[in-house]
Amino acid sequence: MPAAPESPHLLIPFAGRGTPECRKALHELRLLKLEALLSRLSLMHEDLKDDSTLSPPHERALAEALGIAAPDGQIPWAALEARSAGLDGAAGEDGSWGIATLCHWQVGIDDVVLGDPGAIRIDAAESEALLALAGPYFKEDGIALHASATPGRWLARGRMFDGLATASIDRAIGHPIAQWSPLTDDGRPLRRLQNEMQMLLYTERVNDERTARGVPPINSFWLSGTGQLPSDAAPMAAGPRVAEGLREAALRDDGAAWAQAWTALDEGPVAELLAAYNAGAEVTLTLCGDRAARRFGVQQRGLAGWARSLFQRASAPAVLEAL
């Protein structure tokens, strides 16, 4: 008996974007593979909320695909990563996990804006030096720091994070810190620690060297990924393929680069998903924007519906604009 076709699932964050330049570029997109695929799939689920949620649509959609149910701002990404890295049993540690991402806070006249950590290129040596420096200060607040596989991104564990909802860094980049910082009393210790790190890092040698090279200093951190993972949680379901190619241009609101990245996605992962569908696979496509995640899948249709799908192609810009 031949093997059943696989059931590939492609999830695309920032597929729609409401920022001015990306929105302008949206109407010029020509995504033939996406339109062909959408004409063959049916809308199976829509998660629509306003763009003030701490967890953006792509994180909510990924959590759902993995079988994780969590309140807004408390999807346990850090706990999942810690468990994968074998850090859950670290002696003498307790509390919830969080992801501390080193970043550059752009201080303006009226606001302090979070810069994109990916744009300031933190290397492994810098990350290790700053971890050694910051570790004792975090420890005073009962927080243990651990390096991760990504320079400038640490796993942090402490009771300070218990029940603390935090905004995804994908929400906060390019916006005033105050817009996305936890403003509750529970968030006050975190805000104090962030301010202390600003003062500590101001004169740090790593930043002197970065300034001499003409790159932005590392002057604080952003906390995200908080949320508790039950100790008896079952193994995660197999996750979808996440296409990250749109993220950087979307966060910069670089419409031309975002459109170019969409073209590459259309000719790459989207074309591969379309080929899988044509080969008989039960494919799933999840498109995510600022407000919504829409999941499309295979739904049995009669011959007339199948024939109409060949001639009535969905408009990709219209679908993406609704995200």
In which band, very low, low, confident or very high, does the pLDDT at 204 lie, cut at 50, 70 and 90?
confident
Res 57 pLDDT > 60: yes
Long-range contacts of 165-168, Cβ-Cβ distance < 8 Å, separation of 24 or more: 165/54, 165/71, 165/72, 165/73, 165/74, 165/226, 166/54, 166/73, 166/74, 166/98, 166/223, 166/224, 166/225, 166/226, 167/54, 167/73, 167/224, 168/54, 168/55, 168/56, 168/59, 168/73, 168/224, 168/225
In the predicted model, what is the mean pLDDT of residues 15-39?
Answer: 95
In the predicted model, what is the mean pLDDT of residues 251-270?
Answer: 97
In the predicted model, what is the mean pLDDT of residues 1-17?
Answer: 78
In the predicted model, what is the mean pLDDT of residues 272-289?
Answer: 96
In the predicted model, what is the mean pLDDT of residues 145-160?
Answer: 93
Residue 94 is predicted with a pLDDT of 80
Domain boundary among 163, 195, 224: 224
pLDDT tens-digit series, residues 100-135: 999 998 887 778 899 888 888 888 999 999 999 999
In terms of domains, do 260 and 305 share one?
yes
In which band, very low, low, confident or very high, does the pLDDT at 21 lie, cut at 50, 70 and 90?
very high
In a domain, 229, yes or no: no
In which band, very low, low, confident or very high, does the pLDDT at 254 lie, cut at 50, 70 and 90?
very high
CA-to-CA separations, 240 to 9, 89, 146, 286, in angstroms, rounded: 5, 28, 27, 9
Res 28 pLDDT > 50: yes
Res 47 pLDDT > 50: yes
In which band, very low, low, confident or very high, does the pLDDT at 235 lie, cut at 50, 70 and 90?
low
Res 307 pLDDT > 60: no
In the predicted model, what is the mean pLDDT of residues 199-220?
Answer: 86
In the predicted model, what is the mean pLDDT of residues 66-73?
Answer: 92
Residue 30 is predicted with a pLDDT of 93
In terms of domains, do 90 and 218 share one?
yes
Spatial distance between the Cα atoms of 323 and 289, rounded to a whole number of angstroms? 5
How many independent structural domains does the chain possess?
2
Residue 169 is predicted with a pLDDT of 95
In terms of domains, do 194 and 266 share one?
no
In which band, very low, low, confident or very high, does the pLDDT at 1 lie, cut at 50, 70 and 90?
very low
- In 3-state terms, what secondary structure has residue 69? coil
Residue 313 is predicted with a pLDDT of 60
Residue 304 is predicted with a pLDDT of 45
Domain boundary among 224, 256, 275: 224
Kindly provide the residue ranges of all beta strands, DSSP E only, lying in 130-257, ordered along the sequence.
144-147, 153-158, 220-224, 241-242
In the predicted model, what is the mean pLDDT of residues 298-317?
Answer: 62
Proportion of the chain above pLDDT 90, given as a percent? 62
In which band, very low, low, confident or very high, does the pLDDT at 4 lie, cut at 50, 70 and 90?
very low
Q: Which structural domain range is residue 18 located in?
A: 9-67+240-321
In terms of domains, do 43 and 130 share one?
no
In a domain, 1, yes or no: no
In terms of domains, do 14 and 99 share one?
no
In a domain, 202, yes or no: yes
Residue 232 is predicted with a pLDDT of 61
In a domain, 278, yes or no: yes
Residue 2 is predicted with a pLDDT of 38
In a domain, 111, yes or no: yes
Mark residue 227 as left, alpha or beta (left: phi above 0; alpha: psi -120 to 50; beta: remaining).
Answer: left
In the predicted model, what is the mean pLDDT of residues 293-309?
Answer: 69
Residue 119 is predicted with a pLDDT of 83
Res 93 pLDDT > 80: no
Average pLDDT of the chain is: 88
Domain boundary among 181, 200, 224: 224
191 or 168, which is more confident: 168
Residue 3 is predicted with a pLDDT of 43
In the predicted model, what is the mean pLDDT of residues 26-48?
Answer: 94
